[in-house]
Amino acid sequence: MPVFSLDPAQKHWCEELRSLAADRLRPLAEKGEPGRINRPLVAALGELGLLDRMLSAGALDLCLLRESLAHGCTEAETALALQGLGSYPLVQAGTDGQRARWLPEVAAGRAVAAFALSEPDAGSDAAALALTAVPGGGGPGTDGPGWLLTGEKRWISNAPEADFYTVFARTTPGAGARGVTAFLVPADRPGLTGTPIEMLSPHPIGALAFDSVPVTAADVLGEVDRGFRVAMNTLNLFRPSVGAFAVGMAGAALGATLAHTAGRTAFGGPLKDLQSVAHQVAEMATRTEAARLLVYAAAEAYDLGEPDVPRRSAMAKLFATETAQYVVDAAVQLHGARALQRGHLLEHLYREVRAPRIYEGATEVQRTIIAKELYG
């Protein structure tokens, strides 16, 4: 299947998702409390089978899912994506017992997952993680000796309200990326506490404090000291889909702009008849389509197991998120003051579009990855 042409079944599915997001999920999102997990919305994603589909989706399906939901309801898209980000390490590296315990709950929307990688001094430089896992452990909620986690995670989406966390901790000091282990840590584990951080975000983001939190071999995801690979495999899958989220927002902004400039009269005619406006809209559409194709190409490369996935994923995330920022900003400019009124679609998108240029590797980090891959 060429990446530049979706087949009829895929197009129909995307149209259904857009309608579902606008008609079924948007009303639930509007009832949510900013900065809190919208559990009715997560449950609806489970009831509709979207979380189950997300857990088993290839990269292209994941991108189509995220783009389509973002077009109609960014909150629903984000709730689904965070479930995927937090649970994909479990999908790729979990034991049969870990999967049996948590994945059905995630798929049903009953358990909320979180991906706990970033720290106060280790955001984009994930190999600099300082959360320590020292030998020891046992105690309540664990089975046998293992490690004690001590330190802090910060900027964690769904914290402190998630039901379990995929936590990346340093098991071998001084080993860089080679000394990190991934753990599945239930939220009720003794010594684990969290605090919310007020941010420009509709979903919760918080800090986690680990005060000798016990974990054992039964909590390890994958292999000891190989957790950085689990993190990077997760990000290689989700980075193109962050691009898809951005494309969905750009598409929504472009659609609103087409309707506005065709119907709004100024200087004796519709705005679309002004060459400066028409050319601006043409540029918005061209960049959005280019971003979409780059995202689809990266997703197909991932699904086919191509060797250049890190480069393609970084390119897709970089270009799509920067494009969405441009398109949404241009849409606001063409709409004028009305677009900044609280509750307007573009006011909402203007707030939502900024964060993807930072999380899961900032734009500058994506450029570093691309350059490293090119020269490597």
Cite the active site residues: 360
Distance in angstroms (rounded) separating the CA atoms of residues 375 and 368: 11
Q: Say if residues 293 and 3 touch (Cβ distance below 8 Å).
A: yes
CB count within 10 Å of CB 189 equals 21
Please name which of 164, 165, 100 lies closest in space to residue 131, comparing C-alpha atoms: 165
Distance in angstroms (rounded) separating the CA atoms of residues 187 and 161: 8
What tokens does 325 get?
């920022």
Region label for 155, one of left (φ > 0), alpha (ψ between -120 and 50) or beta (otherwise): left
Angle at 72 between CA 356 and CA 42, to 5 degrees: 75
Please name which of 237, 365, 260 lies closest in space to residue 309, comparing C-alpha atoms: 237
Centroid of chain to Cα 277:
33
Please name which of 15, 8, 24, 26 lies closest in space to residue 65, comparing C-alpha atoms: 15
Q: What phi and psi, each to the nearest 5 degrees, are found at residue 214?
A: -80, 135
- 8-state DSSP, 104: H
Distance in angstroms (rounded) separating the CA atoms of residues 216 and 199: 34
b/e map 43-70, b = 16+ CB within 10 Å: ebbbebebbbbbbebebbbbbbbbbbbb
Beta strands in 217-295 (DSSP E): 220-221, 265-266, 269-270
Q: What phi and psi, each to the nearest 5 degrees, are found at residue 130?
A: -115, -10
Q: Say if residues 44 and 28 touch (Cβ distance below 8 Å).
A: yes
What tokens does 318 get?
């970089």
